[in-house]
Structure formats: structure tokens, C-alpha cells
Chains A and B, each alone.
Chain A
Amino acid sequence: MQCDGSELAFRDNGMKNFARRALFTIGAFVSLAVLSFLGIDALPGDGCTALLGRFGTEAKIAECRVEHQLNDPVIVRLGSWASDVVQGDLGYSIKRDEQVAQIILPRIRNTAMLALVAAIMAFPTAIAAGLLIGRFPRSRIGKAINTMGVVAMTLPEFVIATVLWLVFSIWIPIFPGVTVVPSNATFMELLPHIWMPALTLASVVFAHSMRTMKAGVTTIQAMPFVESARLRGTKERVTLLRHILPAALPPVVNTIAVDAAWLLTGTFVTEAIFNYRGLGRLTIDAISDRDTAVILPIVLFSLGAYLTMSLIADTVVRLLDPRLRQHRS
């Protein structure tokens, strides 16, 4: 993200950057798809053994393999899958006897909703808490929040989930304990079931960005420009929000990007505990079913989530850091 003197050079560099990035992204998608396809293929069993289960006779499995073209060489199957995907057809799940798009789109929506609610719970509060704890390191409330955040971060999700369930579903029954609505339920039907898993996920990620923020604030506060602002008589609130906050944010944005991608892709345990019908459970089932057609879009979605988040983070950091945008007109 370096740039030399002229605006033209910057734009040029930006284009080059963008092109390099786009190329890298496409390369990553393609190689990951190929690797996943080959990896799943190398596992014992296939879609037909998963469908027919324990009592699938050899004749029936052979018949099923012919029907679903599983006897073709792996490279042929990969090619035909890829050409279907390019034409917008995600394919068909042997095990579930259903179009893949119909299976995974509601799950992606549910996981995205959960991630969004968890992100709204975790990140703004983490930034505010980190700012205050960094600014007032001796405050008791600050210390308490810091300790709680670290404890929550180190506890496994199933412990947090069980405690939350016990408190908010059994002792003070304000939230339903597990999700009992179908995967294609409307937003309003799903909403009451989202709070507990979201709170669990939020507690896991909260401390990461809070502590990054706190460390940033501690460092920035000691810098000469903060001292000079104070000496000029700038109000403390303005110093904190206008000077310290923007300077401390860039590393936090990167932490948040990684955590946000995790919220979209790493929620297996939490989803299982709360019976939340998102991507997590589907992924586990699909892998044990060797359901290539379902696994591949999920793998690519995960990759997409990480790439998108890091792209957003870079952009936000660029906007925040005046040194990176000084050449903009």
C-alpha cells in the first residue's frame, strides 16, 4: 500500500494492487476448490455409500454410482462440476436428493444473521471498553470488564453456552434454550432464537478486539501528538475521540476482520449446542456424507468470507490512516 509522490502514481499503483489482488483471489478459489475436490475424493466412501448406509449391497451401490456418474475419473467430475458452477448451477446432493442451492442458501442466511448479531454485540462494545480501559487503567470497572473478557475468551464455547443457557433459559427464562424453528423460518420467527448463540459467540471474540484496542490506546497516549493536543488545551473528550481513537483503531480493525470471518465460518460448536440451523451443522453432516456438491460451496464461502473481510479491513484502515490517503484529492 505504499505510494510515491503523484496522484497518478497512486492510482496506477492502486489499479495494479487491485489487479494483483483479484488474480490472487481467483487463484485461491480455484486451487482450494481443486484441493477440496481431490481431498474429499481420497476419503473412503462416497455419496452412494453414504446414501445407502450400512445395508447398501454391492449391486445397489454400483447401480447408484452409475446413476450419479461417480465412476468417471475425478478430473472429469471436477470439470463437469466446475462448468455447472460457472453457469450458476451449484449441483445436486445425492444424499439429500435436493438441489444444493436450496440446501445451503437458507443456512448461509441463518449463519450470516447470527454473525451479524454477534458482531453488533461484540465489536462496538469492545472498542468502547478498550478505549476506556486504556484511558483509565486504574478504574475498577475497567479491570472487572478486562478480567471477564479474558475469562470468556479462554473458556470453551460449550462452557459459556451452558452457563448462558442455565442463567437465561432456566433460572430467568427470558430466551428459548435451543432453536426449534425450521431452517427456512422467516427472520421474525428466527429472531428470538438468535440471542443466546449470538451472545456466546460475542463473548468469545469480545476480548480480542478489546485488548488490542486497550494496547493501542496505551501506546498512543504516550505519543507526543497526544501530549501536544492536551497542552493546547483540547478537551479530554475531544482528545480521546478525535485523536486517540482513530490512531488506535487500525490494528483493531484487522483483529475484527479475522474475528468476523470466524463468526461466519467457525461456529460449529455453538450452532450444535443451540441446535441453530446454520452452516456449521450442515458442514459436519456433508463431510461425513462425502457430499462433495455441498462441501465445495461451503469451503468457497469460507474462503470468500476471509478474503472479503481482509479486503474490507484494508479499505477501512486506508480511510482511517491519513498517511495512507494523503494523496487523495
Chain B
Amino acid sequence: MLAACGRATTVTGVLRVANDAGFGGAETMDPYDGNRTWPTINMVFDRLIGVDKDFSPIPELALSWTSNEELNEWTLVLREGVLFHDGSEFNADDVVYSINRMIDPEFDSPVRAVLGVIESVEAIDNYTVKLSLSTGEADLPSLLADYRALMTPVDSQETIGRAPIGTGPFRMETFDPEGTTVLVANENYFFGKPELSKIEIITFADSQSAAQALAGDQVDLLLAIDGKSSSIFGDTSKYTLQTIPSGDWNAIDFRVDRKPFDDARVRKALRIAADRQVIADTVLGVGGGVPACDTPVWTADPYRWDGPCAKDTEGAKALLAEAGFPDGIDIDIYTSDVEVHMVELVEAYQQQVKDAGIRVTIKMADASGFWDDVWMKESAFVDSWGQRPAAQVLNEVYRSTAAWNPTGQVDKALDAMLDDARSTKDLAQRKQKYIAVQQHIFENSGIFLPYHKTLTRVMSSKVQGIDPIVIDAVRWERISVS
């Protein structure tokens, strides 16, 4: 526990990561559980398919993958000779077990939202598995690269939460999600022995105290800091600051099954009346976000559509007049400080749209009941989502039948376009179809989605090997501390 004494330490080979206390003690190492602790799970377990720096799929535990012509049957060939931390060998049975847990309707893992297209999984031999899908899905490899789609050993459900056994670069020594979790290097890691001997994940309930810990050399890495406070770490000889475009977004959702949002003209007016760049700069700080034209597909995604969607006050007024609101419109929007940026977003929106005659009343809801009592229940409310690949986010949030379709919009035309896009084999054609989907959303949707967030990460300059990319793509075994 040398490094844990908190004094400036010169021990090399130990990385001390500050982590938030997001689930307040309910954290588990079960990657398929809603309270999975991240990014610790990614140090202990591996996926079948990983992502490269440009977000293209690369082999991890699967060496290769092929599909049939309809894209609804995929065959994966597994890496041989991989050992779990307890010495047992990884094989097709573990894949079958893991994927069955991910898609089990009874267990209802959040991963099911990503990989629910998988209907069954079958071991062909020790190192070959076949996945059968309910529909063609050209981007299955990207979906399998979800940071939670990790491989766990057969029959591990009961023990995995606190005593996880994975194949990953580090194995669990002490699991203490409210204190300090300690991981040690897996010398037999199939991508090579990790550079570090140990990783300590130290929990901070308060982001300010985490920043204090970095300034006092008690931790080496803060995964995310508020962009506005990054100036504390301006000394480049001591700290490395990285800004990383991400797929995290906020939105204001308008229920299309309630008046006046049932009118597509009103919805479009509400969305084109605001300047997205100004909102991003106001809410996130300058450089804190990238404007989006109501598309949930983020900037680094190959299917991203970039607009145009400039502020159009006159156009918004005309649409409102046409819909029967020549004198403007009064609306209530519910928000809460349940997450950062959610209150600021509505305040910035209120200022932006008043020129178009849209008079917003901000309704503050209690943070503790927000997701249960307000989200998807009131007529208009703020929203927040994490990064997801296009094929996932479009189906998870916009498809008519999606459990968390927050506006309740039933749009059969959109569903058909999504089905068509995901089952198109040619990449260029598929991209055209996904762009058409996003344009369709811009015309019709009840979701005002002004930006994707840019994350700021900061670390001691002693830390090497972390590229300025989202943490899902970081290779933990290549990180070193000098």
C-alpha cells in the first residue's frame, strides 16, 4: 500500500486513477449489470471485438468474423490459448454463456438494448461461434465492440460482481468501489505483458477533491474534468490535457402524443429557432461541445450527418403561424440538476427561442425522482444520453417500438428506413441511407438535440500511452508511468 499513503510517490509501474462514485456504493463488476463500474470492467475483461483509434472494429478475443448475404448470421473465429485469470481456458462455451446473459429478457441487461438483435448463439466447435440475428445488421461488429459486451467465464453470474475472473490485462486484487480498488498485471495477457504492475482506482465523491488529489500528486489520471476548470492544470511540464470529442449528448424532448407537439410544424419551429453553437458554448463553455442538427450520431461516427441547421427565427415564426400560433406559443419545459448541464441547457434555450415568439417557462423537478416521474412522463423535458454507435442509438431512441423512445413518436416510415439501412451490405450505400434517416429525423422528430459534448481528460505528464480518444478505445496494457 505504498502509493496509498498519499505522499508524493516515486514508485513506478503504478497508475492511480480517480473515479467518481456514480452509483453510490451499488457498483458491481458484472459488466451486464446496470450498476457496472466503469472503466474498471474494461481493465479486467475483454470484448470479442475492440475498436481502433478511428473506431473501426479490430480483433480482440475474436480473430475474424464473417456474415451471410442477408447479414443475419454471423460466424466468429476465436483466439486460441487465451487463459482466464484463474488459469482456465477461454473457449466458445464462454461466449455462448456471456451473450446469453446479455440478451436474457429475464435479466434485462442494458446491453440488450445494443445486442438485442441477437436471437441465439451457438458453439460450432471450441473456437467457432455462430450468432443468429432477428434482422440483418451490417454493423454487428461495431455493436459487439460496446464497452460492456465483455466475455465472462461459464457460470460466473453469482460471483462476478465482487470477485471477477476475466481474460483482461489486469486482474482484481481488492474490489472496494467506495474506496480504493486494486488491480494487478496479468502477466499472461494475450496482447503482451502490461507495462504497469498495478492500477489503483480511487473513488472521489466530489470532483473538486479529485482535482485536488491530482494537484497534490495523489492520483495520476482524471478521466473527465469540467472544461471550465481545466486552467488549473495549464502547466504542461506537469500535466497533459486532452480534449476528446465524444458521443454524449443532451436534448430537450417534446412528447409528440401531446398538444401542441403533435404538430410537426410546431416541433420543427421549436428546433430551428435556436442557435446550436451559442447553446453549446453557453452550456458547455467555448470548445466544450460540437453542434449537432438533432442527430444523435456523433462526429467521429462514419454515418454522421452535419446539417445545415442554422438558426431561422423567421422560418420558425412562419411555421408557428401556419400551425395556428400567429402570436407565438407558451410552453413548459421540465428540468432538474440530476446531471450537469441539464438546467443550463433549458436556460440557454429559453433565451435563444424568445425572438421567435416561443415563451418557455422552466419547471424545476426534484433530482431524485427525475428519471422515474418526469422523464418520458411530462410533455417537455431535458434528456441526457451517453455515446453509442449510430446503429444502436437510432434504434434505441428513435424507433417507434423502443422502450426508451422518449417522445413516444410512432413513425413507421422511419422504422422502415432503419431496417433498410442496417441490412444494406455496401458501406457507401449504407452511409447514404443512414444520412437520409438523420435528415428525416431533422424534419419530423420531437427531440431537440443541440450538441455532442467534448470531454476533457487530464493526467500527470508521467503517464504515457493514453491516446486522446474515448476511454473505450484505450489499451490499458500499453500505459506506463515513468
Contacts A45-B368, A180-B6, A288-B368 given; indicate if A273 touches B206 (C-beta within 8 A).
Answer: yes
> For residue B216, which residues in chain A have a CB less than 8 angstroms away from its CB?
165, 169-170, 173, 176-178
Closest 8 CB pairs of A and B: A182-B179, A176-B6, A177-B216, A54-B371, A44-B369, A96-B25, A275-B209, A285-B24
Contacts A51-B26, A176-B216 given; indicate if A281 touches B368 (C-beta within 8 A).
Answer: no
Interface residues on A, range: 35 or more
A189 contacts B by Cβ under 8 Å:
yes
Q: Which residue of A lies closest to B21 (CB)?
A: A285
User: A272, B205: Cβ atoms under 8 Å?
Assistant: yes
Report how far A44 CA is from B210 CA in the complex, Å: 31
Query: Which of B204, B209, B215 meets A170, CB within 8 Å?
Result: B215
A196 to chain B, nearest CB (A): 10
Interface code B145-184, partner A: CB below 8 Å = 1, 0 otherwise? 0000000000000000100000000000010101110000
Contacts A55-B110, A193-B6, A275-B209 given; indicate if A178 touches B25 (C-beta within 8 A).
Answer: no
CB-contacts of A176-199 with B (<8 A)? 176-185, 189, 192-193
Q: Which residue of A lies closest to B200 (CB)?
A: A180
User: A274, B209: Cβ atoms under 8 Å?
Assistant: yes
> For residue B367, which residues in chain A have a CB less than 8 angstroms away from its CB?
288
Q: Could you list 25 examples of A-B contacts with CB < 8 Å?
A: A53-B35, A96-B26, A170-B216, A173-B216, A177-B212, A178-B6, A178-B204, A178-B209, A178-B210, A180-B180, A181-B5, A181-B179, A183-B176, A184-B179, A185-B4, A192-B6, A192-B7, A193-B6, A272-B205, A273-B208, A273-B212, A275-B204, A275-B210, A285-B21, A285-B24
> For residue B161, which residues in chain A have a CB less than 8 angstroms away from its CB?
97
A157 contacts B by Cβ under 8 Å:
no
> For residue A170, which residues in chain B have a CB less than 8 angstroms away from its CB?
215-216
A57 contacts B by Cβ under 8 Å:
yes
Q: Which residue of B lies closest to A274 (CB)?
A: B209
User: A177, B24: Cβ atoms under 8 Å?
Assistant: no
* Further 8 A-B residue pairs, CB within 8 A, beyond A93-B25, A275-B206, A275-B210: A44-B366, A96-B25, A98-B25, A178-B213, A273-B208, A273-B209, A281-B205, A290-B368
B471 to chain A, nearest CB (A): 21
> For residue A93, which residues in chain B have a CB less than 8 angstroms away from its CB?
25
A43 contacts B by Cβ under 8 Å:
yes
Q: Which residue of A lies closest to B5 (CB)?
A: A192
> For residue B218, which residues in chain A have a CB less than 8 angstroms away from its CB?
176-178, 180
Q: Which residue of A lies closest to B369 (CB)?
A: A44
Interface code A34-77, partner B: CB below 8 Å = 1, 0 otherwise? 00000000011100011111111100100000000000000000
Contacts A60-B108, A179-B6, A273-B209 given; indicate if A43 touches B26 (C-beta within 8 A).
Answer: no
Query: Which of A52, A177, A181, A289 meets B213, CB within 8 Å?
Result: A177
User: A173, B366: Cβ atoms under 8 Å?
Assistant: no
Give the A-B pair count, Cβ closer than 8 A.
126
CB-contacts of B386-410 with A (<8 A)? 403-404
B86 contacts A by Cβ under 8 Å:
no
> For residue B6, which residues in chain A have a CB less than 8 angstroms away from its CB?
176, 178-181, 192-193
Interface residues on B, range: 35 or more
A95 contacts B by Cβ under 8 Å:
yes
> For residue A53, which residues in chain B have a CB less than 8 angstroms away from its CB?
23, 34-35, 371
CB-contacts of B339-374 with A (<8 A)? 366-369, 371-373
Q: Which residue of A lies closest to B182 (CB)?
A: A182
Query: Which of A44, A165, A182, A277 meets B373, CB within 8 Å?
Result: A44
> For residue A50, which residues in chain B have a CB less than 8 angstroms away from its CB?
26
User: A177, B371: Cβ atoms under 8 Å?
Assistant: no
> For residue A189, which residues in chain B have a CB less than 8 angstroms away from its CB?
1, 4-5
User: A277, B178: Cβ atoms under 8 Å?
Assistant: yes
Report how far A98 CA is from B24 CA in the complex, Å: 13
User: A275, B24: Cβ atoms under 8 Å?
Assistant: no
Report how far A103 CA is from B177 CA in the complex, Å: 12
> For residue B372, which residues in chain A have a CB less than 8 angstroms away from its CB?
44-45, 49, 56
> For residue B25, which residues in chain A have a CB less than 8 angstroms away from its CB?
93, 95-96, 98, 103, 285, 289
Q: Which residue of A lies closest to B218 (CB)?
A: A180
Interface code A256-280, partner B: CB below 8 Å = 1, 0 otherwise? 0000000000000000111101000
User: B26, A95: Cβ atoms under 8 Å?
Assistant: yes
Q: Which residue of A lies closest to B161 (CB)?
A: A97
> For residue A180, which residues in chain B have a CB less than 8 angstroms away from its CB?
4, 6, 16, 180, 202, 213, 218-219
Report how far A274 CA is from B204 CA in the complex, Å: 9
Report how far A312 CA is from B35 CA in the complex, Å: 45
> For residue A44, which residues in chain B have a CB less than 8 angstroms away from its CB?
366, 368-369, 372-373
Q: Which residue of A lies closest to B204 (CB)?
A: A275
A197 to chain B, nearest CB (A): 11
B331 contacts A by Cβ under 8 Å:
no
B50 to chain A, nearest CB (A): 25
User: A95, B24: Cβ atoms under 8 Å?
Assistant: yes
B135 to chain A, nearest CB (A): 23
Contacts A54-B375, A55-B404, A170-B216 given; indicate if A183 touches B205 (C-beta within 8 A).
Answer: no
CB-contacts of B1-56 with A (<8 A)? 1, 4-8, 16, 21, 23-26, 34-35
